[in-house]
Amino acid sequence: MDTNIPPLPHPKSTFTIKIGLIGDAQVGKTSLMVKYVENVFDEEYTQTLGVNCLSKKITLGSADIMFYIMDLGGQREFINMLPLASEGAKAIIFLFDLTRPETLKSIKEWHRQATGFNEQAVPLLVGTKYDLFVNMDPELQSQISRQSMRYAQAMDAPLIFCSTSHSINVQKIFKIIIAKLYNLTMRASEIKQIGDPLLIYKYLGGTRRSASASSDPSNASN
Ligand SMILES: Nc1nc2c(ncn2[C@@H]2O[C@H](COP(=O)(O)OP(=O)(O)O)[C@@H](O)[C@H]2O)c(=O)[nH]1
Ligand SMILES: [Mg+2]
């Protein structure tokens, strides 16, 4: 018997991750999706594109990961679209506009409703437009930062402040999602200083396991 048969090449496995983007109108959901997938920030382009679903494939170790990112119309009348964005999602990104604290308040209701459709998804809390926020009154910045930390704690959700227009923390959001879903260690340092673009993820969002995301892309490192 010939024992020298070379091993067959391992077929590349593809893992699919559906991600829902949820939050009030104008917080920057579509912009974030378009920036992550197409690396463009251009309001006109985003509007012309007129999409609410984009996909992107990335390679991690020996696995391909296919992201399906679903955007939700933010107006109240789109609440009936919520199941579309939340059902089957492995992660749900709750977005609020750092310059409009009322959009953070809305997260409570968005979170309650989305959890009703999907209890398994890893939640993330993302504050947008950090580029504008950083020029606001420092006292207000401090209040909003602390308030969003309280929300993140209550939701057990990683907290990320980002700027899509200035490419701050955009990639990190999706790295955190992978790290949480596949139990990988992330090297990025946390940012906890008030006034800085917060990045708090280590002890948040780790208590859930998305049922079908459990098979680990083989020893992938990041
Ligand atoms: N300054 C700034 N403006 C942003 C940022 N992200 C989005 N916007 C603007 O906010 C507005 C709403 O964005 P859009 O993505 O349409 O929000 P959506 O309704 O949540 O999908 C648009 O004018 C965007 O150009 C950002 O990071 N910084
Ligand atoms: Mg939109």
Dump pLDDT digits (tens) for 73-119: 766 667 778 888 899 999 999 999 999 999 999 999 999 999 999 99
pLDDT of residue 96: 98
pLDDT of residue 210: 45
213 inside domain = no
Question: Taking Cα atoms as reference points, which of 115, 135, 133, 139 lies closest to residue 198?
Answer: 133
7 inside domain = no
Q: CATH number of the domain at 178, please.
A: 3.40.50.300
Which structure tokens are listed for 101? 């604290």
List, chain by chain if needed, residues with CB within 6 Å of any ligand 1 atom.
25-31, 43, 46, 74, 128-129, 131-132, 163-165
User: Considering its fold, how many domains does the chain have in total?
Assistant: 1
Distances (CA, A) of 73 to 20, 22, 51, 187: 11, 8, 10, 34
Domain that includes residue 82, residue range: 13-208
Atom of ligand 1 nearest to the CA of 162: 27
Dihedral sign computed on CA atoms, order 83, 199, 153, 27: negative
Distance 26 CA to ligand 1 centre (A): 6
pLDDT of residue 199: 97
Best residue among 24, 30, 31, 51 to mutate for probing ligand 1's pocket (most ligand atoms within 8 Å of CB) is 31
162 inside domain = yes
**Its pTM surpasses 0.75:** yes
The CB-side HSE value for 1 (13 A sphere, CA atoms) comes to: 1
How many angstroms separate the CA atoms of 165 and 210, rounded? Answer: 31
User: Residues in the chain with pLDDT < 50?
Assistant: 209-214, 216, 218-222
pLDDT of residue 90: 97
